[in-house]
Amino acid sequence: MDPINIIILLNIIGTFGANVTGAKRGLKSKVSEIKDKPKTFLQKFPPILSMLSLVALILAVFQIGTLNYESFKDYNALRYTGLIVYLVFSWIQVWSFKSLGDNYSQDIMIKKNHELVTNGPFKIIRHPQYLCQIVLDLGATAATFSYLVGIFALIEIPIYIMRASLEDKLLAKYFSEKFSDYKKKSGFMFPFIG
């Protein structure tokens, strides 16, 4: 097996293990008291899209849905750069989920005892988890030459921007002045922008 693909496979296993606590919190949020939960396709479609992207990446590790590596040997620097981007942003995403603490949820919602999270990566951007998902999938595309992961990454861009915008509106509704102050100090998905 290709060494880059071995590293990606090990990272998938490592990040999955690191995110188990977040998944448990997400399950708890199903039974906790919810103040507001908008009905929209943005509740279920983005997590399904991320799951399909992960499946495509696992297939890419086994060189299914990828370009032929032998034909593109001159582009190994691109593959290694993609690997580094993928690794860095996959762990920043884990950090993002952990920073959310009890506010973590797969759904867009405001819980009964919801808090506005402004620590960790949320100190500089409001939606690091979505930025990380897009960038790590782009990095994985370059690392594996997977056209399937690349297609999902391109579809994710507008979907995650819409989802993040909806979250901003919901947070503004419940944390009005506090969210307004936070918004002035943080970027939407990039530091100092939005």
| pTM score, whole prediction | 0.90
The Cα 104–Cα 29 span in angstroms is 8
- Could you identify the residue written with the tokens 């086994």? 62
pLDDT in tens, 109-125: 998 889 999 999 999 99
What mean pLDDT comes out for the span 48-71? Answer: 95
Residue 193, classified by CB atoms within 10 Å of its CB into exposed (0-12), middle (13-18) or buried (19+), is exposed
CA dihedral for 41, 43, 44, 49, sign (positive or negative): positive
| pLDDT 10s digits, 1-47 | 899 999 999 999 999 877 776 656 555 655 558 889 999 999 999 99
d(C-alpha 168, C-alpha 131), whole Å: 15
- Helix 45-61 × helix 128-144 angle, to 10°: 30
Amino acid identity of residue 178, one-letter, is K
State mean pLDDT over 39-62: 95
| 3-class DSSP assignment, residue 187 | strand
What domains can be seen in the chain, in order of their start residue? 3-185 (1.20.120.1630)
